[in-house]
Amino acid sequence: MIKRVIQLFFVLIGGTLGFVYLPKIIFLLNLGSGTPRWISSPFAGMVVGGVIMAFLSFLFVDSLVHLIKAFEDRIIKAPVTDVLFGTLGLGLGLVIAFLIQLPLSSLPGGIGTILGIFIYIFLGYFFFQVGFKKRDELISLFRLPSKTKDKKKDLRAENTQATDYIPYKIFDTSVIIDGRIADICQTRFLEGTMVIPHFVLEELQHIADSSDVLKRNRGRRGLDILNKIQKDHSIHVDLYEGDYDDITEVDSKLVRLAKEIDGIVVTNDFNLNKVCEFQKVPVLNINDLANAVKPVVLPGEELRVQVIKDGKEQNQGVGYLDDGTMIVVEEGHRYIGKTIDVIITSVLQTSAGRMIFAKPKLLEKAL
C-alpha cells in the first residue's frame, strides 16, 4: 500500500512540474513554427512529467519504503514521551524555518524556494532529533528547585532524603534469573512499580537462545520468572521500552535509567552493586537481604550439624545449615557422615555470604 502511495506522489509531483515548467522550456528552446501547439500545452507537459516521474519512482520506491519502515519501527518502539518531545521539536523547527524562509523568498531565480526547502528539512530533522533524544535533559531544565524560608524544613528534608520512598524498582538480568525475586514480590517486601527494561528482556532472550545448554536453561528460567511476576495482579509491573543507543553495556544502561527516573536498581550482581554505590545510585542487593534474614548466631552458642565433607585445612570438616550457611568444624574430619553438636567459635560475614567456624562439643568437654 505505501509503495503505491509513494509512486502516486511521484506522479503528482512530476505532473505538477511538467504542467508549470515544460511549456516554458519549450518556449525557450524555440523549436520553430512547425511545432504542433499541443506540445507546448501545459496539459501535455503534465502528462510527460507524470510519465517520467512514474518511471523514476521504480528506481527509488524500494529504498524509500525501507527507510519509512525503519523509521516507523523506531517510532513504535520508542516511549510515548520521546515521540511527544520529538514532535514538539519538529514543530518548533518548522516554525523557525518559516521565519527564516520569509526574507529568502524574495531572492530571484527560484534560489529562495530551494533554500527554503533545504532549511525546512534541515531544521525539522535537527529539532526532532534534539527533542527525541534529549527528552530527559529538556525536562530537567524546567525543574526549578523548591525554595523555602524555613531553615528547619530544609534540615528536616536533608535528614530524611536518604529514607524517601522510591517507587520504581528496576530489575537487572541476574536478579531475574536468580528467581528469588518472584517470592520477594509476592510477600510484599518490595513496594511500588517493578520496572523491567526492554534491553534487559532482550538480554534474557539472547541467553535463552544460547547454544550452551546451561545458559539456555538459565535464560528460560528468567523468562518463566518474569511471566510468573506479570501474572500476579497484585504486583505492578511496567515494561520500559526505552533504550540508550550510545551505551552498549546493560549495566551502564541500568545505572543511567535509575538516575533518570529516580529509581532503585535491584540486583544480586556484586560488580553492579559496587558501580551503583560509586555513582550514588540506590541499589537493593538480594544477597544482602538473604543474609539479613538468616538466623543470628553468636560465638559460644551450640548447634547441631551434619559434617558432610573435608575442609580446606587439615582435619577440618564442613557442614551446612538449613539456609545454606557453611559451617567449618575444626577437628571435624573424624566426624564426616555424622551429626554432632558443635560450639560456635567465630562468625565471618561478607557480601558474598556468611561463614561459621565451630568446634565439636565433645572436644570442648574433653578440655
DSSP string, 265-327: EEE--HHHHHHHHHTT--EEEHHHHHHHTSPP--TT-EEEEE--EE-SSTT-EEEE-TT--EE
Cα 311 from chain centroid (whole Å) = 44
State whether residue 240 is helix, strand or coil: strand
Sign of CA dihedral 296, 299, 304, 305: positive
The type of residue at 241 is E
Range of the domain at 336: 295-366
Residue 146 belongs to some domain of the structure: no
Decide if 316 contacts 329 (C-beta within 8 A). Answer: yes
Residue 103 belongs to some domain of the structure: yes
Residue 150 belongs to some domain of the structure: no
Domain boundary among 257, 291, 325: 291
Q: 317 and 266 share a domain?
A: no
Residue 111 belongs to some domain of the structure: yes
C-alpha cell at 210: 544460547
Q: How far apart are CA 213 and CA 51, in angstroms?
A: 59
Q: 53 and 30 share a domain?
A: yes
Q: How far apart are CA 231 and CA 216, in angstroms?
A: 23
pLDDT at 329: 92
Residue 142 belongs to some domain of the structure: no
Please, is 350 exposed, middle or buried when counting C-beta atoms within 10 Å of its C-beta (0-12, 13-18, 19+)?
exposed
**What distance, in Å, lies between the first and last C-alpha atoms of the chain?**
92
Decide if 297 contacts 291 (C-beta within 8 A). Answer: no
State whether residue 336 is helix, strand or coil: coil
DSSP string, 22-44: HHHHHHHHT--TTS-GGGG-HHH
> What is the pLDDT tens value at each position of the chain, 367 positions in all?
677 787 788 788 888 877 777 777 766 666 655 566 666 677 777 887 778 888 877 777 788 788 878 777 777 777 777 778 888 888 898 899 888 888 877 776 567 777 888 888 888 888 888 887 776 666 666 654 444 344 444 434 444 444 456 788 999 988 898 888 888 888 888 888 888 888 888 888 999 988 888 888 888 988 998 888 888 878 888 888 888 877 888 888 888 888 888 889 999 888 888 888 888 888 888 888 877 777 778 888 888 999 999 888 888 899 998 777 889 999 888 889 899 999 999 988 766 667 899 999 876 655 5
Residue 352: which H helix or E strand, with range?
Answer: none
pLDDT at 317: 92
Q: 184 and 218 share a domain?
A: yes
Q: 286 and 301 share a domain?
A: no
Q: 21 and 49 share a domain?
A: yes
pLDDT at 318: 93
Beta pairing class for 168-171 and 317-320 = unpaired
Residue 156 belongs to some domain of the structure: no
Q: 287 and 348 share a domain?
A: no
Q: How far apart are CA 52 and CA 205, in angstroms?
A: 49
pLDDT at 159: 44
Residue 350 belongs to some domain of the structure: yes
Beta pairing class for 309-310 and 317-320 = antiparallel
User: How many domains is the chain partitioned into structurally?
Assistant: 3
Place of cell 524555518: 97
Q: 216 and 308 share a domain?
A: no
For residue 286, give the CATH number of its domain.
Answer: 3.40.50.1010
Q: 116 and 201 share a domain?
A: no
Residue 25 belongs to some domain of the structure: yes
